[in-house]
Amino acid sequence: MSRRLSLFDLDNTLLSCDSDYEWGNFLVESGMLDAAEYATKNQLFYDQYKAGTLDIHEYLEFALRPLSENTPEDLARMHSRFMSERIVPSITYRARALVKDHLGSGALCALVTATNSFVTAPIAAEFGIQNLIATEPEVLHGRFTGRSAGEPCFREGKVRRVTQWLATLGRTFEDFDESTFYSDSHNDLPLMTRVKSPVAVDPDPALLLESRLRGWTVISLRVS
């Protein structure tokens, strides 16, 4: 049983973009959403996220709606293009190497993200990470409803969702000799303060300041 726990944020951490934001833009540019209505709101919510003022429930009502308006077949086809055109090019070799190193060490690894699991499950698979802890979109009769199911994996919700996941394995944070969480965002401070070795990755200004005050490791996964 592994004594190492390695947790990874996704957007602007392992990726050099925000997958949720880019998914919305991709749908607009593909003609599946009205640009005038969607793109403006998408940018507004993204700005609120960066500022730490995002109402996650209001955002999810907006972000999950397109899933309910398209068939699973059309969504799968669009996501395949999204992966090849937007996501894979935003994965640096440093990000791949970091994940590979943790997986190779035998650590228990998980991708922990506020972005919904429809968008992020294929990305977790691209990294070879088997455990995904994400916001879950509700599904009824094989179709997305446009609502979320359970607690969003955001801010303090990330801590609770990881705690619940560990409980299903019969484990707690305290069972690990080493625990690490990699993130770029001040929104992830609740989970960063829960692990033994938080690492700020290309951090936003608020997280950079907090990391310096607390003496946390700061790294970059971007390719100069």
**Which residues are catalytic, by number?**
9, 11
Distance, in Å, from the CA atom of 157 to the CA atom of 163, rounded to the nearest integer, reads 10
Q: Is the dihedral of CA 115, 117, 119, 120 positive or negative?
A: positive
Mapping DSSP to helix (H, G, I), strand (E, B) and coil, where does residue 178 land? Answer: strand
Distance, in Å, from the CA atom of 35 to the CA atom of 41, rounded to the nearest integer, reads 10
Distance, in Å, from the CA atom of 16 to the CA atom of 89, rounded to the nearest integer, reads 9
Mapping DSSP to helix (H, G, I), strand (E, B) and coil, where does residue 94 land? Answer: helix
Q: Which of 62, 71, 73 is nearest to 28 (CA)?
A: 62
